[in-house]
Each structure stands twice: as C-alpha cells, then as structure tokens.
Amino acid sequence: MTGFMTSTTSPAPSDRAPTSTTFSRALGTAALVGIGWLIVFGLFLSPNDRVQKKGVRILYLHVPSAWLAYLAFIVTAISSAAYLSKRTRSLTWDRLAGASAEVGVLFMGITLLTGSLWGRISWGVYWVWDSRVTTTAFLFVTYLGYLAVRGLGGTHHQRARRSAVVALLSVLEIPLVHFSVEWWRPLHQQESIANGKLSGLMLFSLFIGVVVFTLMYVWLVLHRQRLLAMQDALDDHGLEFAIAERREEAVF
Amino acid sequence: MDSVVQRVVQPVVQPVVALVDVVAVLGSFPALAGASLSVNRGEILLLRGPNGAGKTSLLRLCAGLLPVERGTATVLGCDLVADRTSVRNRVGLLGHSNGLYADLTVADNVRFWGATVGASQHEIDASLTRMGLANRLADVQVAKLSAGQRRRTALACLVARRAELWLLDEPHAGLDATGRDDLDVTLRSAAAAGATVIVASHELERAGALATRVVEVVGGQVRQVAE
Amino acid sequence: MNTWRIARLVAAKDLRVEWRSRVVLNQVLPFAALVMVMFAFALDNDTVLTRVAPGLVWLATMFSLLVIVQRAFAVETADGALDALQVAGVRLGGIFLGKAIALAAQLAVLELMLLAAAIVLYKTEVVADGIVLLVTTFVAATTGLAFVGTLYGGLAAGAKGRETLLPLLMLPVVAPVLIGATRATEAALGTENATPSDGWPWIGLLTLFAVVFGVGGTLAFGSLIDE
C-alpha cells in the first residue's frame, strides 16, 4: 500500500500492528502505568472524604472523564475549523475531528453515568437540573447528532465539509444552552465540588487522573484517526478496481 | 427571429465543454471512469448509449452538480475542479425529474424560474407560448397534469432561464408528437442563437435528425461515433 | 440578482405553495391542537395545566416545527427543485432567508392558534401589562426557530434517514428557545407571581439566538445542502 500514510505524522506501521508505531506504543505503556498508579492512589492511598466517605472515589473517574470529554469537544471544534479554512484544508483534520468526537462521546457518557452515581451516593439524587449537568447532557446528544451526520455518506470531502459545519454550529449552540439553563436553574451552593476542603492527597490523585486520562485520550484518538485514514484509503483503493471494472463494460 | 431564445452577447470561450479523463463517483461507484469530451458552441450533441452507461452523470457533471473526482473539466470557461458552482446560472439542466412545484400552476412555475434570472413578463409569456402552454393549461396545478405536460412545463421553465448551455436528459420521453416538434424547434433556435445543446436520448431517429454530432457513452467513457 | 430579491421570491413561492396546498392549515394545525388535547389527557389536573400552559404551548410549537420543516423541504426535493435551484445559480443565502421568512409566517399562525387553544383548554388568561412582552417573545422566538428550522431542514433534506435525523439535530439546538420563550411567556401572563420585568432578560437571549442562527445560517446553508 503506497502513500496512504503520508498525511499522518508517524511512520512505518507493520502488518502485525497496523496502526501502532514506536511513539504510540510508548504512549500506551505510559498510559497503562498511569492507570495503575491512579488505581492505587484513587482506590487505596487517598483518604476517605469526611462527609462522603468512600463515595468520593468516584470523583477520580468522573472528573478526569469530564475533562477528557470537554477536551475532545474542543479538539473536534478546532479540527473542524482547520478543515474549513482554505489554507489548512486536509482530510487529516476531518478524521481527527471524527476520532476525537467518537472518544469524546464515550467519555461524555461515562461522565454522565459516574456523575449520576455520585449524586445518588452523596445527596440521594440521580440527577439535578443545573447548568453544568444539563449542558453536559446536551453536549452528549449533540455529539450523537454530529456522529450521525458523519455517517450520511458521500465523498470524503462532502462528509468533511458537512460535519465540520455542524460541529461549528454546535460550538455556537453550547454557550446558548449553558446560559439559558444557568438562568433557569442557577447553580446551588450544595452542589459545588468545593464543598469540603479536598486534602492534598485527594487533589494529587485527581491531578494524576487528569494527566493519565489525557494520555489515554491521545492514544485512543491517534489509533482511531489512523484507522479512519486506512478506511478512507481503502475506499480510494476500492475506487481503482471499480474504475477498471467500469471500463471493462466498454470493451466488447 | 425567435425572441424567446435570444441570448448570450458575451464572448464564449471555445470549446464550451472540455472534459479530459474525468472520473466522477456516486457513493463508491464510478459513474464516469475516464470520460473525455469536447463540445463547441452552437452544436447540438446527442449522447447515446445503454442505460447505466453514465449519460445522466455526464450531464449532471457539466451542470456542476456532480463533483469531479479526477481529470479536468472546463465548462463555459469555468474550471469545475476548482469551483463547481462557478458555472451555475449559465447552464440549464433538465434531468429525470422536472424541478417543478407540484402545488403551483404552470404559469406560477414558469414565472418563478424566469424570475430567478430576472426575465420579463414578456419573456415568460413567450416561453409558455413556445411550449404550447399559453392556454387554459397555464392555470392548472402541475400535480394535475400528465407526465408529458409536466415535461413541457419543465422545458418552458428552462427556456425562460435563457441558459448558454442546455443539458437535456431524455427530453422527448413522455411528449406527444406536437410536443416533440415544439421541442425540436426550440432546440434548433437555441443553438442558432448561440446556445449549446447536449441531449441524452434513446430516441435515436428523432434525436439523430436533430443533432449536429453524435457520441456514444458506454462504461463511463465517451466514444466518438463515425458519422 | 441580489440576495434580498431572491429571498422575497422564494418566500412568496413557499407561501403560495402553502396557500394552494393548505397542508399546514389542514394537517399541521389540527395536529398541534391534538397535541394540546393530549397534554390534558396526560396531565389530568386543571391547576397543573394552567400553571404549565406556557411550556405546553412552546412544546407543541417545537413538535409542529419538525413537521412543518420536513414539509417545507419535501416540497423542494419531491421533484428535484432544490437541485434545480442550485443549478440555476440562485444565491443560497437568499434561498435560506426566503424559506426562513415563509417558515416564520407559518409558525406565527401556528403559535396564535396554540395560544388560543391554551386560553380555551387550559384557562390561560392574557393580562394587559404583559401584552408587549408577549408579542415580543413570540416575534423573537419565532425568528430564531425559523432560522434553525431552515438550516437543519436543509441538512436533513435528501439525506437517508432524514426523518429521524432532524429531531435529533434540532431539538437540542432549540432548547434555549424553549426555556427562554416559556419563561418570558410565564412572566407576560403573570404565572406563579412572575412579572413582565422578569421576562425581558429572556428576550435578550432569544434575540441573541435569532441573530446567531440568522447570520450563521446564511453562511452555513450552502455548505449543508450542496452535494
């Protein structure tokens, strides 16, 4: 297969490991080690919260997930803008936007789920109608819509243009949703994270969580983006055969 | 002289259509697999060929509706690879569908399409007359018309739009004898007034008599036919 | 042809189509009224109904919006008219504005009917102090909804699975309008001791929404419908 990897940054995937390279393997290892560390600190070494006791440990999953979900959304938005700008038009940006959105929707779901569980444990409710939670839920549904639009078909560039525009419209929409919900149900004091003081060790564990999840995000997006590149290349490759077959019709 | 198809005062780049090794895809299917075509101004070109050969795709590509995947395509001096939309409003396409609003009357439709290019009421009336619709049919809702009458309405809309390049996909289909005669006269006047006409048709005898040149479309490519 | 002339042309055409076919009048308005009745079946409590009437009016508006938007674009795609508009080189921003204007007009009629239904079915009372706020709310919300509807309707038009895609894309986006319009309407009607002055900040949000999607829509519409 010639040339299809030229648009991505890293060289030389092999047949046994089609989307991994030295860099991604190192990254993956670091992420795994980090996850181990996070588990140790999050589940064992860090102290229980005075009020929430063991329940606070969900935060070590919830906060990094939320961070990752929002990071993914920002990356999708920036990549979409990069695709639309004539100077940097390249399908790599489109595939990055798509890969980031897929990872983002997964972690947005995890954020909502863990948040819901934490709310149940801490205050007895699965859901609150405040701006943070509701906007996150809307972001989740918006992601789903974005991914549906990506699946509409057409040439690679048609897909890219359509979904890039939808992504940017979503960027416009999110502040509107946030502020309307904020005015509707202002953030109640008791729901704020800065409720009790977080001990140093807890903060440290959260910090590890954020760092580790960022590594994980990069690793996931890297692989997914390469996979998308390969799928696109396969489509193009398939085109060669299809063209040859088509031309056969003319020969008799 | 026929005032309906008066036209085109600005100089036109020769040839009007220049396609070289064009590949165009519908989804993942290569409708055009290396088609080359050159059409000069004032020609009436007939595209013949089996169903599925790519005639419709060729017409749609020239109208700027189908993206050019490979090759070069220049229509009316506009590079379709760089910007498909640049050729729009100078081209008229009559495809398999008619582009009509079924709830509106014949006159409403022609008036609307004429208005998109700023045609005057006189030109619109003339278009209706040209296609034999300047009678009680003009106030009938398109939904109530027969297929042939709808086709005539679509042609009247096309006439009102004063295009420089006419792209017609099976225009004779569904028309009665009078309708076909009207169509042929219209196309000849258009070509005489400086427009270029490309017709895809199975009606080889009639279209053959109308055309100044014939090519064969098969397997997504264009083959010249010995006259 | 400049954008405003195209917009007027397209808006007139859309309204004429509705006038002749009366689909919104005969099908969507009854649907909306039916929704209001079904809310009463589901909520089964007069006090609650009066309390939530503003919300129900806007909720019914949102659901009807989906139907009207699909109709507006079905008219275009039924006979390939949208393609024909693009080939005609008609400015897409003009098409967007024109369809949005027509959509807004139809929405306005719908909302008036829903308000009347609320007065009749839910014992809503309109107070004199709140009239200005009420009218402003309806105008601001309708404008925003018309822009969003036209934009996403264009995207979903002609796409496979479009019926299910439109609600998924549109409802999250119109959420701010639902929240803002309901709160402002409650303030205008004096529900739960709200006063008109509580409502005006929401008008700011609704106006911002309308401006964002008016401008954004005019720019983005072409990219979303272009094949």
Over the stretch A38-62, which tens digit does the pLDDT of each residue have?
888 777 777 776 666 777 778 888 8
Over the stretch A125-174, which tens digit does the pLDDT of each residue have?
888 888 888 889 999 999 999 999 998 877 888 889 999 999 999 988 88
* Ordered alpha helix ranges (H), B63-203: 106-115, 121-130, 147-160, 177-192
The span from the CA of B77 to the CA of B193, in Å, is 19
Give the ipTM of the model, two decimals please: 0.88
pLDDT at C61 > cutoff 50: yes
- Say whether A246 and B220 touch across the interface (CB within 8 A): yes
Over the stretch C95-147, which tens digit does the pLDDT of each residue have?
999 999 999 999 999 999 999 999 999 988 888 888 899 999 999 999 999 99
Q: Which residues of A touch B (CB under 8 A)?
A: 153-155, 157-158, 235, 238-239, 242-243, 246-251
DSSP per residue over C76-117, as a string? HHTTTHHHHHHHTT--HHHHHHHHHHHHHHHHHHHHHHHHHH
CATH number assigned to the domain covering B11-224? 3.40.50.300
Over the stretch C150-175, which tens digit does the pLDDT of each residue have?
999 998 886 666 678 899 999 999 99
- Confidence bin at A194 (pLDDT 50/70/90): very low
Other CB atoms within a 10 A radius of the CB of residue A160 amount to 24
CA dihedral A84, A86, A91, A96 (to 10 degrees): -50
Mean pLDDT (chain A, rounded): 82
**Nearest-CA neighbor of B113 among A126, C138, C79?**
C79
Find out whether A161 and B67 touch, Cβ atoms under 8 Å: no
- Confidence bin at A250 (pLDDT 50/70/90): confident
Chains B and C form CB pairs within 8 A to the count of: 75
Selected residue of B101, B149, B161, B198 to mutate for chain C interface (largest C Cβ count, 10 A):
B101
How much of chain C, in percent, has pLDDT values that exceed 70? Answer: 96
- Angle, helices C131-156 vs C162-189, to 10°: value is 170
What is the nearest CA distance from A160 to chain B, expressed in angstroms? 14
The span from the CA of A4 to the CA of A128, in Å, is 48
pLDDT at B194 > cutoff 50: yes
Over the stretch B29-81, which tens digit does the pLDDT of each residue have?
888 998 999 998 888 999 988 888 889 999 999 998 888 888 999 998 889 88
**In this complex, which of B95, B101, B116 lies closest to C88 when CB atoms are compared?**
B116
What is the nearest CA distance from B155 to chain C, expressed in angstroms? 12
Lookup: tokens for B76:
């009316």
Domain boundaries defined on chain B? 11-224
